[in-house]
Amino acid sequence: MKTNTSNKNKKIRAIAKHIHMSPHKVRRVVSQIRGRSYEQALMILEFMPYRACNLILQLLSSAAANANHNFGLSKTNLFISEIQVDKGTFFKRFQPRAQGRGYPIHKPTCHITIVLNTISK
């Protein structure tokens, strides 16, 4: 996982690339936590039954750790300002079929980007 932060307006970013999962499956989880606070997102992700939740939970924890370590921000004051799932490259495989043919199998990957921001009170 790659992490970037910008010092201008304290946006905290965490990126996970080449995740072995379809972007469509990840987006159905991401749409549930978009715009929520860090604590609400943790609670939602812990109880959802999808495999993508573990990956997003890990990435969200990484982004919150970046905020705490790099800027000294409290995790309770963070919210998800932007979360994005992009298509990655396909793993190309072949399944043997009748009469010596090869049937192509495309295994999709995705890139997940989370941007956290502080709640201004």
Buried b (16+ CB within 10 A) or exposed e, 53-69: bebbbebbebbbebbee
Residue 105, token pair as written in the block: 């199998």
For 26, phi then psi, to 5°, come to -75, -35
Q: Looking at residue 37, what is its pLDDT?
A: 92
pLDDT at 7 over 50: no
Alpha-carbon distance 115 to 84, whole Å?
Answer: 9
pLDDT in tens, 39-92: 999 999 999 999 999 999 999 999 999 999 988 888 888 999 999 999 999 999
- DSSP annotation of 71: I
pLDDT of residue 55: 93
Q: Which residue segments constitute the domains of the chain, with CATH numbers given? A: 2-118 (3.90.470.10)
Cβ within 8 Å of residue 9, ≥6 positions away: 117
